[in-house]
Homo-oligomer: A and B are copies of this chain.
Amino acid sequence: MKKIDIRIPAKEYPVFIGANIFDSLEKIIRIKKLSRNLFMIIDRKVMNLYRDDIKRFSSNFSGKIFINEFDASEANKSYLELAKIYNDLIAIGYGRDSLIVAIGGGITGDIAGFAASTFARGIQFVQVPTTLLAAVDSSVGGKTGINFGETKNIIGAFHQPEFVLIDTEFLKTLPEEEIICGIGEIVKYAFLSDKKFFELLKNNFHKLLELDSTFTTRAIETCIKFKGDVVAKDEKESGLRKILNLGHTFAHAIEVEQNYLIKHGQAVVVGLACALELSRRTGLLSEKLFTQYLQLPFMFKDKITLNAFDPLQIYEIMKRDKKGRENRIKFVLLKEIGRLIVDVEAEKDEVIYCLNKSLALFIK
């Protein structure tokens, strides 16, 4: 079992990574002296696949335990579902001294984390990510939230977990589409971190697709260490942390325009292609590096399929994005791997051009 420490000034916490480590959950809760009033929010799909493991945990746990099965979907990352969680917490008489454990992907972690951050002005919270995307990205860093109306993640809070437990066994039952999503986010870290990791990923892409245990653990570790360092320096995203949004301004809008028929991690890959194109068009990125860098998103060509799209609508959705200040869209662009520029504004025509060109790569 590997351990990475996330050193945020207000709160340090460990991330544990390993195969078959779910059974350590009880022990870690005990050692860290967390509340023994457990409220588990579990993606129903995960519950159905790992019912025996979860039952074993809950029957061995000496404390109160309540299980809330959650049908994870963007539509259910809503106030309506949040209210059900609040209702359950109140009905069973839980108060400030309780601990929410989220077992599932990014959506489950986001809504569970937001419930933890707002119930009784903040209770303890543990993340057990079961998707590759949640493992490499959303389970660490404390971003929590729900969607509101048409706007993704607009209601939320920063609320760091007590610890994160990543058991790679959960990944084995993921459909390929979900693995692609996780790899999409890993590719983002390739552009953020260094050339070595970029090359490593390019040359071992198939190992990730096959979930080769050693390579997957190594990739997860690299991403989390990188993210942990960034978040430790800028928890609330007032500066440096913005680099983690590389490709995401595009991705969020593409997801909405495509009516969520494309998944977040897939949209990130398309968004990365857009960000590379815009970096080239604005002269930040050389033609040579652009061609070289695009190879990585291009490896997903057969794994991601977009429907017909309306670039103008995508542009309008981006304008409404919460990151926009004074209605101007700010992009994260790159000069080369590891050298990011944040808060770049761009001409509407240029953005439309990049959308048309990059999205075309993923139209069959």
Residues of B within 8 Å of A96, CB to CB, are: 322-323, 325
Answer yes or no: A90 CB below 8 A from chain B CBs.
yes
Inter-subunit contact B148/A325 (CB<8 Å): no
The verdict on A90 contacting B149 (CB below 8 Å), with A121-B143, A322-B96, A325-B96 known, is yes
Residues of B within 8 Å of A326, CB to CB, are: 37, 97
Inter-subunit contact B90/A151 (CB<8 Å): yes
Inter-subunit contact A155/B322 (CB<8 Å): no
Answer yes or no: A324 CB below 8 A from chain B CBs.
yes
Inter-subunit contact B119/A155 (CB<8 Å): yes
Answer yes or no: A327 CB below 8 A from chain B CBs.
yes
Answer yes or no: A158 CB below 8 A from chain B CBs.
yes
Residue of B nearest to A97 (CB): B325
Inter-subunit contact A236/B156 (CB<8 Å): no
Chain A interface category by residue count: 35 or more
Number of copies of this kind of chain in the complex: 2
Residues of B within 8 Å of A119, CB to CB, are: 154-155
Residue of B nearest to A37 (CB): B326
Of the listed stretches A79-87, A225-233, A251-259, A356-364, name the one at the interface; the rest are far from the partner chain. Answer: A79-87
Given contacts A118-B155, A118-B156, A121-B157, 9 further A-B contacts (CB under 8 A): A86-B154, A90-B320, A93-B324, A93-B327, A96-B325, A119-B154, A119-B155, A120-B154, A121-B143
A: residues with CB less than 8 A from B are 10, 37, 79, 83, 86-87, 90, 93, 95-97, 117-122, 143, 145, 148-149, 151, 154-158, 236-237, 320-327
